[in-house]
């Protein structure tokens, strides 16, 4: 699996992401500067990592969504290429029109960093095939603006088409306002686009990939992607 990690000024989880990709795919990802206009030839997976692109100034992700490289990312996605957008990446993907909806300030108006539980809603996507549907994974969040909101019609479509990939839940998989730390609509933690080739999610699977560091719940996402490309080859 050849991955390309997009680096915007102010992005700060690109190293975490690169380490996860390296450990699980066995291949060093290409780091692609925002001012570039093409992706490296043969890219399988584009990753928009977390951080504070452009300092979150103006609106989270708004400036990055208009960076030169994003035209290449859009056309990559339009051709069915896989795009993984995490945290600030999710915000950028929404601003860039790759995914519907918007990430608002957390309901309690504070930045929150803690481990959360996610219920995997389906396992038949390239991003979630490493998990079982209904499985609960524990991964960290670290964001101030992760409260997913969309209009009623969009939410109905997302739910109707089964495009919610991850939902905040209790450790035993119950969706409960007490476990929805940022107040997201329908406890949405991650969604896919209509075609199923773009995933946006707020939590950080890339921070839970090493057994020696204690938790490996995030590995399934990357391992699933590696399998996806192995099968495709």
Partner 1 sequence: MISNEPAVTPELIAEHGLTPEEYERIVKLIGREPSFTELGIFSAMWNEHCSYKSSKIHLRTLPTTGPCVIQGPGENAGVIDIGDGLAVVFKMESHNHPSFIEPYQGAATGVGGILRDVFTMGARPIACLNALSFGDPSHPRTRSLVAGVVAGIGGYGNSFGVPTVGGEVRFDRRYDGNILVNAMAVGIAEKDKIFYSAASGVGMPIVYLGSKTGRDGIHGASMASAEFGADAEEKRPTVQVGDPFSEKLLLEACLEIMAKGCVIAIQDMGAAGLTCSAVEMGAKGDLGVTLDLDHVPCRETGMSAYEMMLSESQERMLMVLKPDKEQQAEAIFRKWGLDFAVIGETTPNKRFIVRHGGAQMADLPIKELGDEAPVYHRHFIENKRLPVIDSASVKPPMSVADALQKLIGSADLCSRRWVWEQYDHVILGNTVQRPGGDAAVVRVNEGPKALALTADVTPRYCEADSFVGGQQAVAEAWRNLTAVGARPLALTDNLNFGNPERPEIMGQLVGCVRGIGEACRALDFPVVSGNVSLYNETNGRAILPTPTIGGVGLLADFTRSMTVAFKAEGEAILLIGETRGWLGQSIYLRDICGREEGAPPPVDLAAERRHGDFVRQLIRDGLVTAVHDVSDGGLLIALAEMAMASGIGAVLEEHADLPGHAFWFGEDQARYVMTAKDTEAVLRRAKAAEVPLRRLGATGGAVLALDGERPLRVDELKRRFEAWLPAYMAGGA
Residues carrying an active site annotation = 87, 204, 206
Residues contacting residue 191 through CB under 8 Å, at least 6 positions apart: 99, 100, 101, 148, 158, 163, 164, 165, 199, 200, 201
Nearer CB in complex with partner 1: 69/192: 69
> Which among 88, 198, 194 is positioned nearest to 143, based on CA atoms?
88
Which 95-114 positions form the footprint of partner 1 (CB under 8 A)? Answer: 110-114
Say if residues 133 and 123 touch (Cβ distance below 8 Å): yes
203's enclosing H/E stretch is none
Distance CA(187)–CA(147), nearest Å, equals: 9
Given 1, 39, 46, 51, the residue binding partner 1 (CB under 8 A): 51
Q: Which of 137, 206, 219, 222 binds partner 1 (CB under 8 A)?
A: 206
Q: What distance in Å separates the CA atoms of residue 85 and residue 201, rounded to the nearest whole number? A: 6
Residue 121 engages partner 1 in binding (rule: CB under 8 A): no
Asked if 19 is part of the footprint of partner 1 (rule: CB under 8 A), the reply reads yes
Distance between CA atoms of 221 and 226, rounded to whole angstroms? 9
Residue 81 CB, shortest distance to partner 1, in Å, is 26
How many residues form the binding site for partner 1 (CB under 8 A)? 31
Would you count residue 26 as binding partner 1 (CB under 8 A)?
A: no
Q: How far is the CB of 51 from partner 1 (least distance, A)?
A: 6
Return the H-helix or E-strand segment holding 120.
strand 112-120
For position 55 contacting partner 1 by CB under 8 A, the verdict is yes
Q: Which of 146, 166, 163 is nearest to 154 (CA)?
A: 163
Our finding on whether 59 is near partner 1 (CB under 8 A) is no
Q: Between 14-25 and 219-232, two packed helices, what is the crossing angle to 10 degrees?
A: 50
The correct pick among 1, 52, 89, 99 for binding partner 1 (CB under 8 A) is 52
| Minimum separation from the CB atom of position 32 to partner 1 (A) | 14
Query: Interaction with partner 1 in 155-174: which residues (CB under 8 A)?
Result: none
Q: Which residues bind partner 1 (CB under 8 A)?
A: 9-10, 12-13, 15-16, 19-20, 35, 51-52, 54-57, 110-114, 140, 142, 144, 204, 206-207, 209-210, 212-214
């Amino acid at each position: 699996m050849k991955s390309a990690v997009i680096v915007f000024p102010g992005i700060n989880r690109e190293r975490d992401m690169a380490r996860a990709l390296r450990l699980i795919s066995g291949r060093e990802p290409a780091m692609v500067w925002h001012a570039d206009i093409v992706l490296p030839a043969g890219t399988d997976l584009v990753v928009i990592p977390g951080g504070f692109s452009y300092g979150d100034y103006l609106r989270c992700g708004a400036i990055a969504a208009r960076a030169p490289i994003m035209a290449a990312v859009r056309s990559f996605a339009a051709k069915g290429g896989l795009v993984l957008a995490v945290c600030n990446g999710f915000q950028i993907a929404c601003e860039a029109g790759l995914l519907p909806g918007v990430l608002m300030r957390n309901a309690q108006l504070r930045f929150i960093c803690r481990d959360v539980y996610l219920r995997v809603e389906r396992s038949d996507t390239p991003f979630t095939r490493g998990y079982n549907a209904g499985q609960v994974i524990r991964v960290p969040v670290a964001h101030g603006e992760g409260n997913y909101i969309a209009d009623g019609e969009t939410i109905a479509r997302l739910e109707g088409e089964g495009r919610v990939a991850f939902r905040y839940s209790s450790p035993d998989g119950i969706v409960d306002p007490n476990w929805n730390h940022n107040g997201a609509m329908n406890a949405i933690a991650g969604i896919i686009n209509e075609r199923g080739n773009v995933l946006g999610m707020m939590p950080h699977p890339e921070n839970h990939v090493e057994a020696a560091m204690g938790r490996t719940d995030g590995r399934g996402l990357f391992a699933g992607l590696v399998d996806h490309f192995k099968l495709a080859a």
